[in-house]
Amino acid sequence: MNKSISYQPLSYEKPSKEELLKRSEAFLDLMKKRRTVREFSPEPVPDEVILNCIEAAGTAPSGAHLQPWHFVVVKNREIKKEIREAAEHEERINYEMRFSENMKQDIAMLETNFQKPFLEAAPVLIAVFKESYRIDDHQVRRKNYYVNESVGIATGLLITALHYAGLVALPHTPSPMRFLNKILNRPANETPVILFPVGYPKEDTTVPELHRKPLEEIVTRF
């Protein structure tokens, strides 16, 4: 059954060419400063900031507007400890058995290992789940569309919003991450995608000196 929907005027103000350029340059400067941080200060962050950033992530476009995402915010120490233990269990197996030699070489410069102290040190964890499928009002399993693309965009908005607000985050993937469904009590139609420790950086923390591909390498223009 098609549900009819009403239309409303678009809220939009056309900027001048100068303003367009100014805004795009300012945003680029801001984004160039985003870095993955692996050492956090224990200082708490305001709940409202985290919720605003998640609400911003929820403005993402999605296939058929099904919004196939769910975000879980964890501040509770015991739950963070449980998540750390489960993640370290998986990551120990990853480093010892599941990661290929090629992958180990590719991540060697990050100097990471199976230990994940940031999962307890960061004041907040945000777990992002994708709704791989949905259950409708009649308990029938229904397909969602372009779930990975939609949740990828929402996750990008989330890290952008956190960075814009002045917080740091670590995209962490201690795969397989099904343990998060159990610990965080999420239903089987939701699959964990990424886990973000979020907070302020530890004082004097360092980040690897990485180089981003230059524009010419990532763009083709006709």
Ligand X SMILES: Cc1cc2nc3c(=O)[nH]c(=O)nc-3n(C[C@H](O)[C@H](O)[C@H](O)COP(=O)(O)O)c2cc1C
Binding site for ligand X (CB under 6 A): 35-36, 38, 110, 112, 171-173, 194, 207, 210
Which single residue brings its beta carbon nearest to ligand X?
Answer: 36
72 or 177, CB closer to ligand X? 177
48 or 217, CB closer to ligand X? 217
How far apart are alpha carbons 184 and 189 in whole angstroms? 14
Shortest separation between residue 135's beta carbon and ligand X, angstroms: 27
Shortest separation between residue 162's beta carbon and ligand X, angstroms: 12
Shortest separation between residue 9's beta carbon and ligand X, angstroms: 37
63 or 201, CB closer to ligand X? 201
99 or 146, CB closer to ligand X? 99
Query: In the numeric block, which tokens belong to residue 4?
Result: 């009819």
Shortest separation between residue 79's beta carbon and ligand X, angstroms: 19
